[in-house]
Amino acid sequence: MAEKIKALIREYQEGKLSRREFLRQAIMLTGSLAAADSLIGGLLPKGAYAAQVPESDPDILTHNVQYQGKSTAVSAYLARPVKAGKYPALIVIHEDAGLSDHIRDVARRFAKQGYVALAPDYLSRLGGTRLVSPKGQGLANIGELIPWHVVAEDTEAGIRYLRVLPDVRRDRMGVVGFCWGGGMAYITATQARDLRAVVVYYGESPTPLDLVKNIQAPVLAHYGEKDQRTNKGIPGTEAAMKKYNKVYDYKIYPGAQHAFNNDTSKERFHASAASGAWGRTEEFLRKHLKS
């Protein structure tokens, strides 16, 4: 058993396995997620917590770009498939820590799946994430620093930027947001037009809830069972979506807490919830953006 686990770790460190596949096989070897976390957590060196899709992946291209927002230039990270073609596009809205390595990795994961993914730095007008959040920690006052209407403006500008790229299908646009960005994905969907898909990871509901009447795209939402603060808004959101005949699907993942998809946080990451949510996200985006 120990030798198999060591071999598994070695394959992961050499880049032969994605994080998701690594965890799947680790759970199979140890018999449970808890056992895998306990055993492998002690064996893995700190450097083993690597990106799921490295920038060197031969199937993708990455760029640091700028596009013009309504009142300022917005810095962003762009990931796209290397193979020539026309692809649906996604705006990836970061957590309250700003544009982090984790969110860049998420953008690359989408590129690997056949999307052009743009991850704006919504702190650009304040000097950028590296200046405002140098330690990569959550900003408790991010809502005051970047009001929701500014996020909507910068997202809509990002959509316009994507539409002129030669490898983007102009009629296949979506938005995905995490944590603070999940709430911003909700609220942006009430403002932006021509979106075809909205994915919310543990984001707070729009205020007031009647704003959901303006959402045109289907919405998929993911929540952690232990995230009581965010989850208080679920019943009202569901009722409002039904009231205005919106397409809304959500799931609460057992045992998971807020930010369960962030695999750079050992305290919050929940492997089975993250894997399940990602699978549902892939299916949802494939249905609404690739058809």
Q: Tell me the catalytic residues.
A: 179, 227, 258
Q: What is the DSSP letter of 47?
A: G
Instruction: Kindly state the helix (H) or strand (E) to which residue 27 belongs, with its residue range.
Output: helix 19-30
Q: Are 199 and 185 in contact (CB under 8 A)?
A: yes
Rounded CA-CA distance 89/171 in Å is 9
**194 Cβ contact list (under 8 Å, min separation 6):** 159, 171, 173, 216
Percent composition of the chain: helix, strand, coil (DSSP 3-state, to 5): 45, 20, 35
How many whole angstroms separate alpha carbon 191 and alpha carbon 171?
17
Q: Quick one: CA dihedral 54, 57, 59, 64, positive or negative?
A: positive
Q: What is the distance between the alpha carbons of residues 181 and 238, in angstroms, rounded to a whole number?
A: 19
How does DSSP classify residue 206? Answer: P
